[in-house]
Amino acid sequence: MFLTLKKGATRSQLDYICKKVRKIGFRAHISRGAKKTVIGVIGENAILARDIFESMEIVEFITPISKPYKLASREFKKENTVININGIKIGEKQIVVMAGPCAVEKKDLLIKIAREIKKAGAKVLRGGAFKPRTSPYSFQGLGEKGLKHLAAAKKMTGLAIITEAMTIDQVKLVEKYSDIIQIGARNIQNFDLLKAVGKSKKPVLLKRGIATTIKEFLMSAEYIMSQGNYKVILCERGIRTFEQSTRFTLDLNAIPVIKKLSHLPIIIDPSHGTGVRDYVAPLSKAAIAAGADGLMIEVHSKPEEALSDGPQSLLPKDFCLLMEELKKVAYAVGREI
């Protein structure tokens, strides 16, 4: 249940309620909005403790939680969550573009790509140091060496970086180098890993699984948030359907649906969503028109030599042209890049 407090609630009153919540065996999660402060009382059958809080003078009203994803829901927080990463704000008017190669390969190549995407207007450099691949014989990433290459590119360009952690053991290592921890589609229901990044102070980008419903998607976000990390960015990257003309089917429906159900920002990955270079630009434009807060686009200087996902990677010159086109779409819907 949610406890909506009266205007002017003091820190000591908040602390008293949170202490009471913990004493009866539940978790207290605070959401401070522009007008109201809400305390989420989270736990099995928490609503049965309603009487304890109804008698508190500072509690204005109590609302049962109807959604299974409590903290990720609009019921818990009406305002959109904005995640600030070194001054880059995801979830506000500006659409944030993350770009770079699928996998970190050579240091000089990564820095070259980073410089080109920054010049085009990207704010975040993406690149996998650890690569989950369908085949065990495919390139698996450079590991910590790849993380060091990303750190070098950040130092040279000032771009924030995002990269994936695949196991609990990798979380601390990725935290050391990355500004955003990515949880890939294959790990969306790796609940121990979700709990581990939930204890991190770094923002987490959570990719939707290839056969994950939106409810399951938000429940995975809930695992992260339940551990105290509310800085979750959702990422739609395509789901598996019967269609075979693209690698996956990019579910643009997810944007307005999630915007209605959740306060968390959502970005779109049209590169993995289609697996086809030619479709990245039109779907990027469609995503912005539908209300996405950002894009994740794969860019490679020599896609024919890429160790991972070359066929879906844009050349830097094409990425630059796309960014100019995206500015027009963003302007048309009252946003900017």
The CA radius of gyration of the chain, in Å to the nearest whole number, is 21
Q: Does the pLDDT of residue 67 top 90, yes or no? A: no
CB atoms inside a 10 Å sphere around CB 71: 26
pLDDT at 49: 84
β pairing state of 37-42 and 27-32: antiparallel
Q: Does the pLDDT of residue 103 top 80, yes or no? A: yes
Q: Does the pLDDT of residue 203 top 70, yes or no? A: yes
For residue range 277-301, what is the model confidence (pLDDT) as tens digits? 999 999 999 999 999 999 999 999 9
Structure tokens at 205: 């980008």
- The answer to whether 303 touches 113, Cβ cutoff 8 Å, is no
Q: Which residues contact 57 (CB under 8 A, 6 or more apart)?
A: none
Domains of the chain: 2-63 (3.30.70.1140), 83-332 (3.20.20.70)
- The answer to whether 160 touches 125, Cβ cutoff 8 Å, is yes
Q: Does the pLDDT of residue 8 top 90, yes or no? A: no
Q: DSSP letter string over 211-251?
A: T--HHHHHHHHHHHHTTT---EEEEE--B--S--SSSSB--
For residue range 218-262, what is the model confidence (pLDDT) as tens digits? 999 999 999 999 999 999 999 999 999 999 999 999 999 999 999
User: How far does the chain reach from its first CA to its final CA, in angstroms?
Assistant: 38
Q: Does the pLDDT of residue 137 top 70, yes or no? A: no
Mean pLDDT value of segment 320-325: 98
Mean pLDDT value of segment 309-320: 94
Q: What is the pTM of this model?
A: 0.91
